[in-house]
Structure 1
Amino acid sequence: MEAFEHRLVVPRTARYYQIGDLATARQLWVVCHGYGQLAAYFIRHFRTVVEHAPGTVVVAPEGLSKFYLQGTSGRVGATWMTREDRLSEIEDYSTYLDQLISQLLAACPNPVTVTLLGFSQGATTLSRWLMRSAFLPAHLVLWAGTFPEDTPNEAARNLLTSLPRLSFVCGTADPYFPREKVDAQLLMLAEYGATPQELRFTGGHELNAELLRELTA
């Protein structure tokens, strides 16, 4: 007898971390971690941003799916999606991020400039969300991650040509981003009509404190 697939929408508890006070915020950064990371540890890299630019608040949402990084115990990581039931996972995290940004902006008594930064898998996550959302940030930073290739051309072009500022960042020794892959990513973005700012630093697949501080300008 054949088994038929069904879907049921259920409430979820989503976790995020915050540095800074929204009541006095002038800048808001929403930063999305990479595959296998947790928001509590990821957000620590952004303390330098808050210290460098008073009035900045950093919020790090966490992927909805958790797993053991090795075997069935020990360290735990989170992921934004996998290839299994991927469209549902994309819709779920897009709904989550829409609700989060609405809640954060509602808690800010004054207008804020919003920067979205996605690291590795987080870069693709933010890009997919923005193509489904009415929200548009002042600055999108794709850090050691790519804009998704498997996306409708019109949606990609509409988003990328509407962004006030787009930055592509990666380390000079990032094993996932040799020069040819960097060039291919920049070419794809340009073909969609984007004019990304390319920023490099000496290092690998990681964040860089000095460059993070520069991005607050």
Structure 2
Amino acid sequence: MKSEEKEISYTATNSYSTLNTLTKSTKNVWFVCHGMGYLSRYFLRYFKGLNADENYIIAPQAASKYYLKSEFKHVGASWLTKENTAMETKNAMQYFDAIFEAENIPNDVNLIVFGYSQGVSVAARYVAKRQLQCAQLVLHSGGIPKELHAEDFVFLKAKVNLICGKNDEFLTENRLQSETQKAQLLFKDNLNVMLFDGKHEVNVALINNLV
């Protein structure tokens, strides 16, 4: 018996969520990638404290959905796993391309690319792979993909904020040190490290102070 794994390409449809309205008054457009276990429409609640007239938020939706608990009631989603990571990354990047094409973001606004937890991996990869010039890149409580190197971000002029809680249960002291050192190597003088008193949680107060 011969077992073989094959690949096919096909057209897929996925949703994404937005908050507020993109108008001539918009100053900042946020592209926010949720963490594992979230749905994009619920992730938007962390950005409701921003000025609605000046901030337009786009939240892509990870395609791989699953039930969070055994009650089969609440649904979450995941961006990537160790299974077929390269292929799944390519799919996510093409999905992001489609969102940017659909939204047609003006050139005169500040583009802020934001990743939280698992969302850091796809946010950082997208900026690097598409050489996306943005005003800010926010890496909140997540790991920077190992395959990314300093040369991948030579083009980037953005302010880069590395945010995490001092008591993050997924972050040991050694991991924090290694992640900070890697970020310094990748982003050099553009890097701003922001530590807060808290666990693995979205820090709304810091979000509201980014603009």
* TM-score, shorter chain, exceeding 0.5: yes
Partner of 2:196: 201
Pairwise mapping of residues 59-74 of structure 1 onto structure 2 (< 5 A)? 59-71=58-70, 73-74=72-73
CA RMSD of aligned residues (A): 1.9
Q: The residue matched to 1:77 in structure 2 has which SS? A: strand
Residue 126 (structure 1) aligned with residue 127 (structure 2): no
Read off the aligned partner of 1:212 and give its amino acid letter: I
CA contact (8 A) 2:65 2:75 kept: yes
User: 5+ residue gaps in structure 2?
Assistant: none
Q: The residue matched to 1:50 in structure 2 has which SS? A: coil
Residue 48 (structure 1) aligned with residue 45 (structure 2): no
Q: The residue matched to 2:177 in structure 1 has which SS? A: helix
Q: TM-score, normalised by structure 1?
A: 0.88
Give me the identity figure in percent: 26
From the superposition, tell whether residues 78 and 214 of structure 1 become closer, same or farther in structure 2 (CA, over 3 Å).
same
Q: TM-score, normalised by structure 2?
A: 0.90
User: 5+ residue gaps in structure 1?
Assistant: none
Shift of residue 193 of structure 1? 5.0
Write 1 or 2 for the structure with the bigger share of helix: 1
Tell me which of 132, 137, 142 is aligned to 2:134. Answer: 137
Read off the aligned partner of 1:205 and give its amino acid letter: H
Q: Structure 2 CA distance, aligned partners of 1:198 and 1:182?
A: 11
Partner of 1:4: 4
Q: How many residues align?
A: 209
CA contact (8 A) 2:131 2:155 kept: no
Q: Structure 1 CA distance, aligned partners of 2:23 and 2:8?
A: 37
Partner of 1:169: 163
CA contact (8 A) 1:29 1:59 kept: yes
CA contact (8 A) 1:119 1:144 kept: yes
Read off the aligned partner of 1:158 and give its amino acid letter: D
Residue 182 (structure 1) aligned with residue 211 (structure 2): no
Structure 1 stretches of 4+ with a deviation exceeding 6 A read: none
CA contact (8 A) 1:29 1:57 kept: yes
Shift of residue 212 of structure 1? 0.9
